[in-house]
Structure 1
Amino acid sequence: MSFNKNKCNRNCCSEEIVEESHVTRNFVKPPTSDTECSDTSTSGKKKENASKDHRIHSVEVPLPDHGGKSKLKKNIKSVIVEKPYEVPTKSKKRPMYVINNFSVPRVLKFCKKTVSKDFGELINEFYDLKYFVPHNLECESFLNIDNRLKNRYDSIKCIEWSRVKLNSVPENPHGYIHANFVSTKNLQSKFILTQGPKDGTLEDFYHMVWQEDCAVIIMLCNYIETNISKCNRYVPPVNTVITFKDLSVMCIKGPSVSVFSDDDSILETILCLTLDGKKKYVTHYQHIAWTDFSVPTTSNIRMVLELLNHIRTCHHGTIIHCSAGVGRSGTLMAIEMLLCELICGGELCSAKRVVQQLRKQRGHSVQTASQYIFIHRVIIEYALINKWMTYKDVKNFCESYDKFILSEKIKKEEARNERLVTLNL
């Protein structure tokens, strides 16, 4: 990988993908019938910008290695962007979902059943699921010794039948990447869940973005968390280019607070990928306030729905990743799956069934009790937003939820402090 001088000549807006490449994805039919996928689409509008030159000088960009202890420094040369990418101004809120006359009762039934349960029942539900592993799911490529260094965690397996298979990637003859397709017949978009890129998988990651025609990347982690490397730095600074053998990636806008969210915890960046003279534009969203093995704060719950509502309009693929690509990523994916099932009248109308189905495609998804209960809390918030329920209807559940999340946070901090004390002895 190298950083080179390049130019980007483009007038565009954030929802437009110009050079489309319809590549047939290597997707094997799942063992159940709930794995078909349909797409919806919207179109963007162009905005003309005055031509300007934006210059930067050589800078050093830290790229942490696998352990996050050392830094790999790369020289980025000056870049001229003749027509910079402009993010459109904030538009009116879209409805949270396209609903029908039959969707409201299903959502209400789920919410009423949730709040009627003793809070401990939901915790027990998760622990019943905690070690759920689908039978007869092979992980042949994950276990291949040639692919071992491409896995971030040895304990997080990549299921064979649903994995993404890369075509014609230099220095990756096996076409392996730790990533899986996730689909049900009611999902409105194509989704891929993957681990955070490593230093040795950056090229694989961007080839996957190109090959699967993905227009959105959702990053649910920081590069470094509690002094531990969670993901290698793969987004270049603005107006700079990462160049691989046959593919280049340029950051043409950002990072800035996302235009669709009122919350400042989501950063938006625009990337331009170039391969064989063709260009694709990708919007990168990074949630900087969702920590490992936890959930967003209560004040950020609506932001999660806004994010899902925004990407649902994308008729191209969406990639979701955190560090391992199963905890935070699996939780967000489970919320979208459950919401689509409830709205469309699918068969997976419980969080338990959704998580089971998700783990058949992306193993280990949803790692903690707080993440499992968060799925329920988001659906309840969805009902509150649409005024199908009042806060009085769910007050006891919401208060119990807040207390539980706070206690889990305290436990996590205490455990972390104990580890630090042990290390300092």
Structure 2
Amino acid sequence: MHRSKSVGSSFWSDNCDSYLNTFTHIKRWSVDYTNVQPCCSTEKLVFNHYRSEEPVTSNMDISTGHIVLSYMEDHLKNKDRLDREWEALCSYEADPASTKVASDSANSRKNRYSDILPYDHSRVVLSNASNITSSDYVNASSITDHDPRNPAYIATQGPLPHTVADFWQMVWEQGSVIIVMLSKLTENGEAMCHRYWPEEGSDLYHIYEVHLVSEHIWCDDYLVRSFYLKNLQTNETRTVTQFHFLTWPDMGVPSSIKALLDFRRKVNKSYRGRSCPVVVHCSDGCGRTGTYCLVDMVLNRMAKGAKEIDIAATLEHIRDQRMDTVKTKEQFQFALAAVAEEVHAILKALPQ
């Protein structure tokens, strides 16, 4: 099915702006490298002015892009249609949905929330020989896209004080080099995630030594940390980069779609050319984590030239692997708007 260019363009300019205006005004940044100031002796940098990343070169099918924009028009303009879509998603049940391992009494203290558990078939399995408690359990789920043998993401909870070593073991054994953190350590007085990295220098978590190499504060919305991760059993070392988004409230959405899209572009620019899973976490590894994975998976599929995109079916696919991903209708609506804004930007940049 082909849809003319004017349909998507007029939809975006005429209809989506009103929805996006419900979010806080988007800040614009420009880079001035003369204003990079070291803020302490451990190579922490503050970027006082920042230019957003432009959409990367894409193989997106133009007609598919306009069809997706038309889908957004239907759902962002028509509240009843969005409500029906969300109600259908809420009634969706994953199958299989066994959480026997996560529910075992020996593992219950490793779960931040008793009602958010990884499914047995998609849980990340640790090597118990290397584990500090001789356990293979961590509250984390492998999320695959097109290749079931190679997970695209690991969706996980924010580590607890006694699961930090498990977290780093998972990062090491899965070969991950990118961590996407979507929560603060505490929000409204409630612990969301234990600090799993040193504020300065190095800390040891069982057999994993983590050294903070640098911390770059790019803007009000996010910062980037670089770590050296060393396995003391093998003496191997790996560089791990953590992208930390700071302005996404629990059970809510970011105030700026543009800020999250800029953040995602930075993550993907760092990840380009790799095939290891990206570790994504918030507090429970479901709401914010699922929303980020949904946006990223849909946009990555489109960038690879997919001819058909079904966002609701994509969310069901993610929910087959991690329970309760995208927890609220507001988060689903935000995901639709974020995909639409990025598709619109890519279409503008493509030769017509």
TM bucket, shorter chain: 0.7 to 0.9
Are positions 1:171 and 2:127 aligned together? no
1:309 counterpart letter in structure 2: N
Conservation of the 8 A alpha-carbon contact between 1:301 and 1:381? no
The answer on 1:180 being equivalent to 2:141 is yes
Shift of 1:190: 3.0
**8 Å Cα contact 1:164-1:179 kept in structure 2:** yes
- Cα 1:367–1:347 change in 2 (3 A) is farther
1:352 match: 312
1:50-199 superposed matches below 5 A: 96-100=55-59, 103-117=61-75, 118-167=78-127, 168-185=129-146, 190-199=152-161
Q: Equivalent residue of 1:252, what SS?
A: strand
2:227 to 267, 271, 279: 271
Q: Deviations over 1:271-318 (max 9, x none)?
A: 111113211111111111001011111352432442453244151431
Q: Using the alignment, how far apart are the partners of 2:119 and 2:207 within structure 1?
A: 28
Query: Residues 172-209 of structure 1: CA distance to partner in whole angstroms, max 9, x if unpaired?
Result: 32310011111111799831110000011000001111
Question: Contact between 1:328 and 1:366, CA under 8 Å: does it hold in 2?
Answer: yes
Alignment of 1:19-58 (within 5 A): none
* 1:412 counterpart residue number: none
Q: Secondary structure at the match of 1:214?
A: coil
Shift of 1:222: 0.5
- 1:243 paired to 2:204: yes
Counting only pairs closer than 5 Å after superposition, residues 250-269 of structure 1 correspond to structure 2 as 250-254=211-215, 256-258=216-218, 263-269=219-225
Give the CA deviation at 1:219: 0.6
- Cα pair 1:331 1:372 within 8 Å, conserved: yes
Matches of 2:156 and 2:344, distance apart in 1? 32
AA at the equivalent of 2:176: C
> 2:245 aligns to what?
287
> How far, CA to CA, are the matches of 2:302 and 2:158 in structure 1?
30
Q: Report whether the alignment pairs 1:227 with 2:186.
A: no
Contact conserved, 2:126 with 2:173, CA < 8 A, in 1? yes
Letter in 1 for 2:210: V
Using the alignment, how far apart are the partners of 1:312 and 1:281 within structure 2?
12
1:185 aligned partner, one-letter code:
H
The SS at the match of 1:386 is helix
Seq. identity, %? 22
* Structure 1: 5+ residue stretches without partners: 1-53, 56-80, 390-425
Amino acid at match of 2:193: C
Q: Is the 8 A contact 1:305 1:378 kept in 2?
A: no
In structure 1, distance between residues paired with 2:307 and 2:123 = 24
Q: In structure 2, what is the Cα distance between the partners aligned to 1:348 and 1:159? A: 28
CA distance 1:120–1:155, change in 2 (3 Å): same
TM-score normalised by length of structure 2: 0.77
CA distance in 2, matches of 1:335, 1:155: 25
Q: Distance in 2 between matches of 1:363 and 1:191?
A: 14
Structure 2 gaps of 5+ residues are 1-39
Distance 1:183 1:257, change over 3 A: same
Q: Cα distance 1:320–1:86, how it changes in 2: closer, same or farther (>3 A)?
A: same
Q: What is the aligned partner in structure 1 of residue 3 from structure 2?
A: none
Return the letter of the residue paired with 1:306: R
**1:91 CA drift (Å):** 11
Q: Distance in 1 between matches of 2:340 and 2:206?
A: 48
Distance in 2 separating the partners of 1:337 and 1:202: 27
Paired residue type of 2:299: L
Alignment pair present for 1:303 and 2:259: no
Matched, 1:216 2:178: yes
Residues 317-374 of structure 1, C-alpha deviations (whole Å, 9 max, x = no match): 3100000000000000001111123333548712210110001111110000111011
Partner of 1:17: none
Q: Name the residue aligned to 1:335.
A: 295
Contact 1:96–1:305, Cα closer than 8 Å, also in 2: no
Distance 1:191 1:301, change over 3 A: closer
Distance 1:85 1:374, change over 3 A: closer
Deviations 1:89-114 (A, max 9, x none): x99977634423x6121121011122
Report deviation, 1:268. Answer: 1.0
Instruction: Return closer, same or farther for 1:305/1:234 CA change in 2, 3 Å cut-off.
Output: closer
